[in-house]
Amino acid sequence: MSEIKALLFDVFGTVVDWRTSLIDNFTAWGKTKGLKGDWTALVDGWRAAYMPSMDEVRKHPERGFVILDDLQRQSIEPLAAKLGITGLTSADFDYLTRGWHSLNPWPDSVGGLTRLKRKFIISPLSNGNVALLTNMAKHAGLPWDLVLSAEVFGHYKPDREAYLGAAKILGLTPGEVMLVAAHNNDLEAAQSFGLKTAFVPRVTEYGPHQNRDFKADGNWDYVVKDFNDLADKLGC
Amino acid sequence: MSEIKALLFDVFGTVVDWRTSLIDNFTAWGKTKGLKGDWTALVDGWRAAYMPSMDEVRKHPERGFVILDDLQRQSIEPLAAKLGITGLTSADFDYLTRGWHSLNPWPDSVGGLTRLKRKFIISPLSNGNVALLTNMAKHAGLPWDLVLSAEVFGHYKPDREAYLGAAKILGLTPGEVMLVAAHNNDLEAAQSFGLKTAFVPRVTEYGPHQNRDFKADGNWDYVVKDFNDLADKLGC
């Protein structure tokens, strides 16, 4: 087993609890603004639009890469209309989109990352854009060494360019890099391109709609309880 | 004056003392290896090859972007031969090239950056490649929020794409970003593209060969003594 030198982290769901963060944020904000709406349905519907919106980017390389902020901004307006949430201005939609920049970490995230950083290069490898990930890190206190994003490689995960681009830009072989994720399909892609893999379950990520990723489904290099358990197992 | 949200730092000379670091490193290493050579001349000559090597990249976009590690590796072999330093293996040249990954900070760099990070996004904006800057940050304890590099934008400073690309990837306007540098020409380029500017003198950067940048030559937004002085002036 070649020595692991860098740990790359999936972010949405793996490092931060996007669902609770957004629902709490929008519910409080809606009250302040006097806006009525099913914010939980909005958040769940928005997340459901995530994969199809990235597929559109993948299908149309001639249009150029579109960052996640712009995809999210495009999908929120029709979704709000569909859910009967009315009276939102353009600035309101901007506010909602910006909500993805200030998600809160799982309880073990900051402490675990801080330990892992002592021994490894730690970076997100997320479909979130660089500004989103940078602002999130400032908000949540995530102690990244650097910020790697699909935006840097012009390809969304699970495209090979994202995983192999991350190893290359760090000057490392794929086997010197390990992806940490709460999603088996992300790890499956990473493993297929030669990266090492660590699974951490985040079984409340989708709330009552969680229907997968309760446990490791593949032959991952590490299966851990949380980031502190990973730090224990990696000797940090 | 629009609010500054991110500080971008030139690195070689501004954050780290490349010359003393490399001379000390190579002198000690040469003794261990039993290699004789004028390591000071090697370091000075290597740095002199820096600008011309980037100009070649600029002149030949059809060849694609070449990262600084590769440029440095290409220029060191003929330089060593010219200086009569013989007996170096390919692994030795790799070692020397890797020396640029472990440069030491100026005395105020880590403390000043740590203070500035409380209020601003802080990132390098360097011609060094991402791996070089990442390894340097681990070595020197530089507390970057993220690592921006010419490599990410496919253009070396002073090309506009580097400065404007950095603002764009942070989701900021050029006026919300300030470049901090010890080099007036770097600040001149940044200012011409709408960034704010801060000059910090590093008058021993080139040792006895220093022939410019003893003081601010332009109308910069801030002229400071060191990073702590900048933190004072920015209220950090």
DSSP string, A127-194: SS-HHHHHHHHHHHT---SS-EEHHHHT--TTSHHHHHHHHHHTT--GGGEEEEES-HHHHHHHHHTT
Q: Could you tell me if A13 and A95 lie in one domain?
A: no
CA distance A139 to A196: 29
A-B C-beta contacts closer than 8 Å: 55
Q: Could you tell me if A81 and A141 lie in one domain?
A: no
The ipTM assigned to this model is 0.96
Q: Could you tell me if A212 and A133 lie in one domain?
A: yes
CB B25 within 8 A of CB B41: no
Q: Across all residues in chain B, what is the average pLDDT? A: 97
CA distance B231 to B229: 5
In this prediction, residue B10 carries a pLDDT of 98
Residue A139, in any domain of the structure = yes
Instruction: Answer whether A169 sits within 8 Å of B131, measured CB to CB.
Output: yes
Number of domains comprising chain A: 2
Residue B94, in any domain of the structure = yes
In this prediction, residue A152 carries a pLDDT of 98
Please check whether residue A223 touches B, CB under 8 A: no
Domain ends where: A101, A130, A153? Answer: A101
Please check whether residue B147 touches A, CB under 8 A: yes
- Cβ contacts of B134 on chain A, cutoff 8 Å: 121, 145-146, 170
B2 falls in which pLDDT band (50, 70, 90)? low
Q: What is the CATH number of the domain that holds B84?
A: 1.10.150.240
Residue B1, in any domain of the structure = no
Residue A1, in any domain of the structure = no
In angstroms, what CA-CA distances link B191 with A155, B8, B175, B195? Answer: 32, 13, 9, 5
Q: What is the DSSP string of B136-195?
A: HHHHHT---SS-EEHHHHT--TTSHHHHHHHHHHTT--GGGEEEEES-HHHHHHHHHTT-
CA distance B95 to B35: 13
Q: What is the CATH number of the domain that holds B202?
A: 3.40.50.1000
Q: Could you tell me if B44 and B133 lie in one domain?
A: no
Domain ends where: A101, A123, A139? Answer: A101
Q: Is the peptide bond before B158 cis (omega within 30 degrees of 0)?
A: yes
What would the mean pLDDT of B73-84 be, rounded to a whole number? 97
Q: Could you tell me if A44 and A72 lie in one domain?
A: yes
Instruction: Answer whether A138 sits within 8 Å of B131, measured CB to CB.
Output: no
Q: Could you tell me if B217 and B129 lie in one domain?
A: yes
- Cβ contacts of B170 on chain A, cutoff 8 Å: 130-131, 134
- Closest-CA distance of chain A to residue B85, Å: 28
Q: Could you tell me if A155 and A221 lie in one domain?
A: yes
Q: Could you tell me if A133 and A30 lie in one domain?
A: no
Q: Block means of pLDDT (10 residues each) for chain A, length 236 residues? A: 90 98 98 95 96 95 96 97 96 98 98 98 98 98 98 98 98 98 98 98 97 97 98 97
Residue A172, in any domain of the structure = yes
Residue identified by tokens 């353009």 is: A90
CB A201 within 8 A of CB A13: no
What would the mean pLDDT of B90-103 be, rounded to a whole number? 98
In this prediction, residue A59 carries a pLDDT of 95
Q: Could you tell me if B161 and B218 lie in one domain?
A: yes
In percent, the amount of chain B with pLDDT more than 70 equals 99
Q: How many CB atoms lie within 10 A of CB A175?
A: 15
In this prediction, residue B1 carries a pLDDT of 54
Residue A185: domain span: 6-17+104-233
Domain ends where: B53, B81, B101? Answer: B101
Scan residues 48-67 of A and list those with Cβ closer than 8 Å to B.
none
In the beta sheet, which residues pair with residue B222?
B198
Q: Could you tell me if B65 and B149 lie in one domain?
A: no
Please check whether residue A169 touches B, CB under 8 A: yes
Q: Could you tell me if B213 and B154 lie in one domain?
A: yes
Q: Tokens standing for B205?
A: 């950067």
pLDDT digits (tens, 9 = 90+) for B18-28: 999 999 999 99
Q: Could you tell me if B77 and B136 lie in one domain?
A: no
Instruction: Answer whether B129 sits within 8 Å of A69, measured CB to CB.
Output: no
pLDDT digits (tens, 9 = 90+) for B162-194: 999 999 999 999 999 999 999 999 999 999 999
Residue A84, in any domain of the structure = yes
pLDDT digits (tens, 9 = 90+) for B197-232: 999 999 999 999 999 999 999 999 999 999 999 999
Residue A48, in any domain of the structure = yes
